[in-house]
Amino acid sequence: MDDSPRRIEFYPDHFEASTPTGESPPETSTPPSLPRTDCSSSSQRRFWARRKFMSAASMLNLFSLPGLHWKSDSDGQEKVELSVVELQSLRSEIADLEEREALLKARLEHLDEILRSARLSGYLFIRTRWTALPGEPPIDESDVDDWLPRFVVLQGPCIFFYLQSTDMSPQDSALLSDVVEVGPLPVFMQENEQRCSFFVLTRQGLRYECSSPSKMQVDSWMTALRIDRTPEYGTAGSKDSMES
């Protein structure tokens, strides 16, 4: 009975041992942290000033001005010094960029108009052939690789052939009223891929041969051209080909 209170007396020592840990928070009082806050604000100001400087420098580096001269004014703001010649060059480059932006905008608007109004459009591989004259030897197609990608547009009474979809004017065109025959061509291998193909023959004797890896695309073009073609220039032979 007398020993039990003595054993309990050891517990206050256990709790007192944690007292230094409990006293540790007052060591980090508010006054010592004040200089740290000032240093943090100063470093942040320097960081944002440096960031503004790098941003302005990166924008001016887009132009071809060699060796820009930077300096700091009395307020600590970074500025660039330009000579009259450098300023004129900068203005010229800005004008060129604005002109290029206007051209790209016009091209996009033109493409948007095509996609809205065209009955059919898309890239096809194109090559042209003229109808062989009597006695003219046929061309050996195995040695000829002149398939070129073209952006083809079926719009209004014409078929337009653009070099690229963003071009403002077509490279070639053909009137639908001049088309006398539309028909399939044999499937062939080109650049390790199978291509389906068809032809469009005009009454002038010019034949547009078109191909695509997609059979669905070829069928769509043949169907659209057969519907939109004016039949008054067709012949009996061309009619058979159109109905095949």
DSSP string, 156-215: TTEEEEESSTT-SS-SEEEEGGGEEEEEEEEEEEETTEEEEEEEEEETTSEEEEEEES-H
Could you tell me the two tokens for 81? 């010094």
Place of tokens 């653009």: 162
Highest-scoring range by mean pLDDT, 7-11, 37-41, 132-136, 240-244: 132-136
Q: What secondary structure letter does DSSP report for 30? A: H
Alpha-carbon span 34 to 226, nearest angstrom: 84
Per-residue pLDDT tens over the stretch 191-234: 889 999 999 999 999 999 999 999 999 999 999 998 866 454 34
Q: In a 10 Å sphere around its CB, with 0-12 CB exposed, 13-18 middle and 19+ buried, how is residue 129 labelled?
A: middle
Specify the pTM: 0.56
Q: How far is CA 82 from CA 54, 66, 77, 87, 195, in A?
A: 17, 11, 16, 6, 59
Q: Are 90 and 63 in contact (CB under 8 A)?
A: yes
In tens, the pLDDT along 112-168 reads: 888 888 899 999 999 999 887 787 777 766 667 789 999 999 998 999 999 998 888
